[in-house]
Structure 1
Amino acid sequence: MQAVNVIIGIIMVLSFFGLVWYCVKGYNLLVGFFVMSVLWTTISLIGNSITPNSAMEGATIIDVLTNVFQTGPENYGKSILVNIFFGAFFGRVLIDTGIAATLIRKVVELGGDKPRITMSLLCIVTTIIFTSMTGIGPVISIAVIVLPIMLSLGIPAPIAMFSFMGSIMAGIFGNIVNFKQYQAIFATANESYGTYDYNTYFPFGMIALVVALIVVLVVSNVFLSKKKVSYAWAVTADSSNSADAPIISWICVVLPVIGVILFKIPIILAFIISGLFALITCGKLRGGFTAVCRMLAKQFADGAIDVAPMIGFLLTLSMFNNAANYASPYFKVLLGGVIPESALLLSILFAVLTPLGFFRGPMNLVGCGAAILAVVVSVAAWPVQFLFPLFAITTIAPQHLDVTQSWVAWGFGYTKVATKDYLKMSIPTGWIIGIILCIVVYVLYGGFV
């Protein structure tokens, strides 16, 4: 019967690489993960009919189907989607009030006509902004301001695009909404992991943010030294919301994080309070009750549109996560002996394999990594404060520098940058960040193991 499990494991590994190929080709991820959910659930049920699958013990076929295709999306919706919607609403408020654009304009004034200084300051502000904002809509809204400024200063398009996308990636390490996404995936793999909260993660998240931003800036400046400055791309920045937002409103960019960390405010309430503070300080709550209600409804609707493609993808990803739990016994047969039980060796393994987080690969939680997480959890009782940062590293750094990321794909069309020119910077950067941060995780949390 062991031979049967090995054969099934090999079939699943082959389908796993098929999913990686599918992601690399840039096909629709919502459809891809739904198909994989159906495939792995079907194979697991067939395998269970031949030899018992420990993950299906005591469950009927209907129980398994319900868990994958109903319970998975329901639980994900309950724990994640509401945070995403309110986070997107807050992002839309920052854009509509002109706060984000004002911060960028002030940075440009501060940097003057010095390309390196201005690029660095723009990257710092972008990183701070994306500790709260999320979704392709807000990214594009900021990009059409930041990228023309960089290009008009003579920064080559590949470097401008890379530094901007890299600064978003750095901000995502501290982003509350993204944390909740990964927390839900961990809770699927092990229910006890759901107790791990943002406050516990925050110290590492801030270290990772700083490290990632520094590496991005260093790489950008190294490549800038090799390029001749050119002022051919004379495009002006988007001048919408041209009036500066009041100085007091600028704190709104980090207000949700402050509320959650210092005052223990629930995430959704933190977004609501921060959004209302932004609207009040920018004088947007005028025109009567009806007009204000109409504006708030539009901002929420626009925010929902911004993240709509991501929502569909995340719901099918939740199906895939639950299907991966049923597939994990077969992966364990093949890979169980490869996963180390030492904190040091696991940290080294993650550092070496960080590039496999690119193209939604096996180290990426928002990709094929859910199956690997299930295997890693089944091998040893890893403390969540050690394991979560490791997977955050191999997910955030590669994914948000990746060509499969929606806003990166948009950036290629906007800047006319060749994929190979971008990847020459993004892949080494993601790997360097992974190595450094895996060392940090071992130093900070290796003692918990």
Structure 2
Amino acid sequence: MIGILLILSFLFMVWYCMKGYNLMVGFFIMATVWTALVLIGNAIEPTVALKGKSIVDVLTFVYADGPAAYASSILVNIFFGAFFGRVLIDTGIAATLIRKVVELGGDRPRITMALLCIITSVIFMSLTGIGPVISIAVIVLPILFSLGIEAPVALFAFMGSIMAGIFANTVNFYQYRTMYAGFVKAAASYSYNDYFTIGIIGMIVGLIVVLTISNLTMKKTTHNWVVDAQPSGTAGPTNAPWWSWFAVILPVILLVAWKVPVIAGFIISAVYAMATTGKLRGSYKEVCRRFAKYFSDGTVDVAPMIGFLLALAMFNNAATYASPYFTAIIGGIVPTNHLVLAIVFAILAPLAFFRGPMNWVGSGAAIFSVVLASNPGIAVQFMYPLTAAVTIFPQHLDLTQSWVAWGMSYAKVSSSDYMKRSIPTGWICAAIMCLVIYVMYGAM
């Protein structure tokens, strides 16, 4: 009975996510409901998950340990990633790269769109948060519009390029890896260096699929030729020097080549970006004020995400206690064969849209906990990228993603025009990567 009630509440959460209600509040409510059901179930018949634990121990694990562990392992990465994003934007490095790409593309809209998508993906290997997305969008989207590319295609191509970059994003890697490690402790030793190869492959696959669908659904372009990355009424743009451009990928290079910790990499890269663009000039107080402003602005960019992630950490810990009940109901039908798992994940990938049951940052934590509990010996190298693929590709094209919702309003694009491109793309990318991951790690 407890298992059935948990499943019914889980279905309610799927509906709640699809309706677009506040996710932070929703996951806090779900954590509370599941904790209550687990305590009631344990009082009737004790489970292994709660053996030797008092009510206070359970509440501490869900409401204190969950957010605290998440804060110590990932929130600081998010804050410094957002800080670095603000540095790239305010130093003009990001805008300069985009302008140079437009010059390279010339009067060929399809080539210019492809180049803009590639550079956007590279930028979002490091950047995160709605603030940097909007700052880049208000440069890229008007350029695409002026090239005669219709708004639905332009918006989809831009959001899809972000999605591709996020698959190799350092901050997002540690975010999802921390969720995974909540159920499989061995995952804590799985590093970005271990993930890097599959991350780059996923990024390339995402770009190829996005550009293919964009070109197939693009009508004949009519040029407006008002290509200007600078807001009207302001002075002409000043380009950042070419040697400063390396700052965009410097955090990834430092992490992969020399295993420099993520936060140290962001700080070093930010200092390099500021030094090469003259932002370290001035008095000591002025420079300190500039650093503080970048960090403050970056924090504001990711603030809405923080509350949601802390509530999600509570939900994930509650799901740990709830997993025996899910296993009792559906554990017998969870596949354990690598190929079958890859095929099932590929088929069910669309269920990650609208924060559905295949989405780590949706209602999927409970389902994944059952899958992981049913496969205790499965390699992290295979299973982690599999869960990441079905989460990242649909999630970052989804209407529930804050910057996608902003983009549709900004570009005046209807949800139907956007979804007829985004949903097939998310599904295709996830399915391709599920099979790639199987070939690379599951068939060994």
Q: 1:405: which partner in 2? A: 401
Q: 2:353: which partner in 1? A: 358
Q: Does 1:432 align with 2:419?
A: no
Q: 1:134: which partner in 2? A: 128
Q: Compared with structure 1, are the counterparts of its residues 235 and 19 closer, same or farther at alpha carbon in structure 2 (3 Å cutoff)?
A: farther
C-alpha deviation, 1:230, in angstroms:
4.7
Question: What CA distance in whole angstroms lies between the structure 1 residues aligned with 2:378 and 2:230?
Answer: 48
1:65 to 50, 59, 69: 59
1:256 to 244, 251, 254: 251
Q: Compared with structure 1, are the counterparts of its residues 233 and 425 closer, same or farther at alpha carbon in structure 2 (3 Å cutoff)?
A: farther
Aligned residue for 1:295, secondary structure, equals helix
Give runs of aligned pairs for residues 27-426 of structure 1, distance below 5 A: 27-224=21-218, 227-230=219-222, 236-239=228-231, 242-380=237-375, 381-426=377-422
Aligned residue for 1:337, secondary structure, equals helix
Question: What CA distance in whole angstroms lies between the structure 2 residues aligned with 1:246 and 1:401?
Answer: 33
CA contact (8 A) 1:350 1:438 kept: yes
C-alpha deviation, 1:228, in angstroms:
4.1
User: Which amino acid counterpart does residue 425 of structure 1 have in structure 2?
Assistant: R
1:20 to 14, 17, 21: 14
Contiguous gaps of at least 5 residues in structure 1: 1-6
Q: Which shows bigger deviation, 47-56 or 173-182? A: 47-56
C-alpha deviation, 1:186, in angstroms:
1.0
C-alpha deviation, 1:318, in angstroms:
0.3
C-alpha deviation, 1:279, in angstroms:
0.2
Q: Compared with structure 1, are the counterparts of its residues 233 and 368 closer, same or farther at alpha carbon in structure 2 (3 Å cutoff)?
A: farther
Question: What CA distance in whole angstroms lies between the structure 2 residues aligned with 1:304 and 1:87?
Answer: 10
Q: Deviations over 1:54-90 (max 9, x none)?
A: 2111111110000000000000000001100110000
C-alpha deviation, 1:234, in angstroms:
6.4
TM-score, normalization by structure 1: 0.96
Q: 1:3: which partner in 2? A: none
Aligned length: 440
TM-score, normalization by structure 2: 0.97
CA contact (8 A) 2:99 2:229 kept: no
Q: Deviations over 1:411-436 (max 9, x none)?
A: 11101100011000000011111111
Among all aligned residue pairs of Structure 1 and Structure 2, give the percentage whose two residues are the same amino acid: 61
C-alpha deviation, 1:10, in angstroms:
1.8
Question: What CA distance in whole angstroms lies between the structure 2 residues aligned with 1:421 and 1:13?
Answer: 33
Q: Which shows bigger deviation, 116-125 or 227-236? A: 227-236
C-alpha deviation, 1:191, in angstroms:
1.4
C-alpha deviation, 1:116, in angstroms:
0.5
Question: What CA distance in whole angstroms lies between the structure 2 residues aligned with 1:230 and 1:46?
Answer: 65
CA contact (8 A) 1:386 1:445 kept: yes
CA contact (8 A) 2:109 2:221 kept: no
C-alpha deviation, 1:233, in angstroms:
11
Question: What CA distance in whole angstroms lies between the structure 1 residues aligned with 2:367 and 2:188?
Answer: 18
CA contact (8 A) 1:151 1:233 kept: no
CA contact (8 A) 2:121 2:162 kept: yes
Aligned residue for 2:237, secondary structure, equals coil
User: Which amino acid counterpart does residue 24 of structure 1 have in structure 2?
Assistant: M
Cα RMSD of the aligned pairs, angstroms, is: 1.3
C-alpha deviation, 1:235, in angstroms:
8.1
Q: Deviations over 1:278-321 (max 9, x none)?
A: 00000111111000000000000000000000011100000010
Question: What CA distance in whole angstroms lies between the structure 1 residues aligned with 2:202 and 2:334?
Answer: 24
C-alpha deviation, 1:232, in angstroms:
7.3
Aligned residue for 1:336, secondary structure, equals helix
Question: What CA distance in whole angstroms lies between the structure 1 residues aligned with 2:305 and 2:225?
Answer: 32
Q: 1:4: which partner in 2? A: none
C-alpha deviation, 1:19, in angstroms:
1.1
C-alpha deviation, 1:231, in angstroms:
5.4
CA contact (8 A) 2:95 2:229 kept: no
Q: Compared with structure 1, are the counterparts of its residues 331 and 416 closer, same or farther at alpha carbon in structure 2 (3 Å cutoff)?
A: same
Q: Deviations over 1:110-167 (max 9, x none)?
A: 1112110111000000000000000000000000000000011111101000000000
Aligned residue for 2:182, secondary structure, equals helix
Contiguous gaps of at least 5 residues in structure 2: none
Q: Deviations over 1:244-272 (max 9, x none)?
A: 00000001100000000001101100000
User: Which amino acid counterpart does residue 254 of structure 2 have in structure 1?
Assistant: G
User: Which amino acid counterpart does residue 394 of structure 1 have in structure 2?
Assistant: V
CA contact (8 A) 2:20 2:400 kept: yes
Aligned residue for 2:148, secondary structure, equals coil
C-alpha deviation, 1:370, in angstroms:
1.1
Q: Compared with structure 1, are the counterparts of its residues 234 and 337 closer, same or farther at alpha carbon in structure 2 (3 Å cutoff)?
A: farther
CA contact (8 A) 2:147 2:224 kept: no
1:443 to 436, 439, 442: 439
CA contact (8 A) 1:144 1:238 kept: no
Question: What CA distance in whole angstroms lies between the structure 2 residues aligned with 1:138 and 1:391?
Answer: 26
CA contact (8 A) 1:355 1:427 kept: yes
